[in-house]
């Protein structure tokens, strides 16, 4: 079961809205949808009967927090788009460079929050925040094979005969352009485009490394499952490759174009998801308690080839993603076009990847 994280508490309950969001101790613990019970019980465990119910409860928790934030924001006078443009332009034109630093930090905070919520890698691997000089190590069984990425992000190293693996820091880079001409003459939300560009570029790089690790793990001391048909036997064999090691297969990842094959060939075995938020996040349904995901959520790049599926254990078991530094950005070049500033930016994050046991990942391939 998922344990409740320690969240910022509220000392007093002043309204009915507060009663819905906070419990008697003043901690964030919303009431469940269409239920009098709180999302978390007295022991800090989710009040959920299944994995699907747990995902719904967590989604309800995020909704409740966001609704509480938005209700407070309504009381404040909103900043219109014209004021936002003026603030952005004055920051970019600041000769001291401090305005650009502020913009870089703000974009980094927003993008990091989006990646935590939307990016596929962070749904599969458990995210571990690292200190500046903290050593990142993951415990492993000495008899098992672990995988880490080297500092270039492209080389995967196998670790055997060790009680720990030590993933190396990898720097991922995004290079967007912020053009103030778009703001002054075209009324274009240039900063919104920057959010999307940085999120897609960094998120895609994280996902590519993840599936490189998955592909290597699926060939370690075993072979991928080969099938002539995209049917329930194919999925069950992939799931068995993990569960024969007494590990629960909690997720199966497919290419989005194969969703129609699931609908046609095994509609009675799959409990299809209907909530829009979960579908956009990549979750399309559940099969015998195992979540089915597409590797491309809304606005992301598809990285699993058609006809290929991956199975993996739960987030607490499959591996970890270490975050060393927050996402930050600085302009590395500026030039003028038609009297307006065009700035090329460099955003980067420092992350590391580690999988302690290759038996927690499996792969299936549809024979062509």
Domain with 41 in it: 16-75
195 occurs within a structural domain: yes
Please report whether residue 333 resides in a domain. yes
104 and 71 inside one domain? no
Contact 52, 45 (CB under 8 A): no
Q: How confident is the model at residue 15 (pLDDT cuts 50, 70, 90)?
A: low
Q: Which two tokens stand for residue 71?
A: 């209700």
Residues 234 and 104 grouped into a single domain: yes
Mean pLDDT of the region 86-91: 68
Q: Domain of 361: which CATH number?
A: 3.90.1690
Both 148 and 213 in a single domain?
yes
The distance of Cα 335 from the centroid of its chain, to the nearest Å, equals: 35
Q: Check whether residue 68 and residue 93 sit in a common domain.
A: no
Q: Which band of pLDDT confidence, cut at 50, 70 and 90, is reported for residue 365?
A: very high
Residues 120 and 26 in one domain: no
In a domain? residue 322: yes
Q: Of the residues 75, 93, 117, which one is the last residue of a structural domain?
A: 75
Which tokens go with 211? 């599936």
Question: Do 62 and 153 sit in the same domain of this protein?
Answer: no
**One domain, residues 28 and 161:** no
Question: Does pLDDT of 77 surpass 60?
Answer: no
The reported pTM is 0.71
* CB contact set of 13 (below 8 Å; sequence gap of 6+): 19, 22, 26
Is 4 a domain residue? no
Total of domains in the chain: 2
pLDDT score of 266 = 86
State pLDDT tens for residues 107-127. 888 888 878 777 888 888 999
* Sequence-ordered list of residues with C-beta below 8 angstroms from that of 120, at least 6 positions apart, any chain: 203, 207, 210, 253, 282, 293, 295, 296, 297, 300
Q: What are phi and psi of 218, to 5 degrees?
A: -70, -15
pLDDT at 187 over 90: no
Instruction: Tell me, yes or no, whether 69 and 99 share the same domain.
Output: no
Q: What is the pLDDT of residue 213?
A: 94
Question: Domain end: 75, 109, 126, which one?
Answer: 75
Together in a domain, 223 and 290: yes
| pLDDT per position as a tens digit, 325-352 | 778 887 777 666 655 667 778 888 999 9
């Amino acid at each position: 079961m998922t344990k409740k994280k320690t969240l910022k508490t509220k000392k007093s309950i002043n309204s009915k809205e507060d009663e819905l969001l906070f419990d008697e101790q003043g901690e964030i613990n919303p009431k469940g949808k269409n239920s009098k019970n709180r999302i978390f019980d007295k022991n800090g465990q989710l009040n959920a009967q299944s994995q699907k119910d747990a995902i719904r409860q967590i989604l309800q928790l995020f909704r409740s927090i966001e609704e509480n934030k938005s209700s407070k924001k309504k009381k404040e006078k909103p900043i219109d788009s014209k004021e936002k443009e003026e603030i952005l332009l004055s920051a970019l034109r600041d000769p001291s460079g401090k305005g650009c630093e502020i913009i870089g930090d703000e974009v980094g905070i927003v993008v990091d929050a989006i990646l935590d919520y939307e990016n596929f890698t962070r749904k599969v691997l458990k995210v571990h925040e690292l200190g500046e000089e903290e050593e990142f190590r993951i415990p492993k069984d000495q008899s098992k094979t672990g995988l880490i990425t080297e500092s270039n992000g492209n080389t995967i190293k196998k670790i055997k005969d060790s009680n720990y693996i030590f993933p190396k820091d990898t720097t991922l880079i995004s290079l967007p352009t912020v053009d103030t001409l778009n703001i002054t003459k075209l009324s274009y939300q240039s900063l919104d485009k920057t959010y999307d560009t940085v999120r897609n570029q960094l998120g895609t790089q994280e996902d590519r490394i993840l599936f490189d690790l998955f592909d290597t793990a699926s060939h370690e001391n075993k072979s991928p499952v080969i099938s002539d048909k995209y049917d329930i036997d194919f999925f069950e064999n992939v799931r068995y490759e993990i569960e024969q090691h007494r590990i629960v297969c909690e997720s199966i990842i497919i290419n989005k174009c194969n969703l129609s094959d699931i609908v046609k060939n095994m509609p009675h075995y799959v409990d299809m998801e209907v909530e829009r938020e979960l579908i956009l996040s990549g979750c399309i349904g559940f099969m015998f308690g195992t979540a089915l995901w597409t590797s491309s959520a809304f606005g992301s790049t598809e990285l699993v080839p058609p006809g290929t599926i991956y199975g993996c254990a739960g987030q607490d078991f499959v591996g970890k993603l270490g975050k060393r530094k927050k996402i930050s950005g600085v302009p590395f070049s500026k030039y003028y076009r038609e009297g307006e500033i065009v700035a090329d930016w460099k955003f980067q994050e420092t992350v590391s990847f580690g999988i302690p046991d290759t038996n927690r990942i499996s792969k299936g391939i549809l024979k062509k």
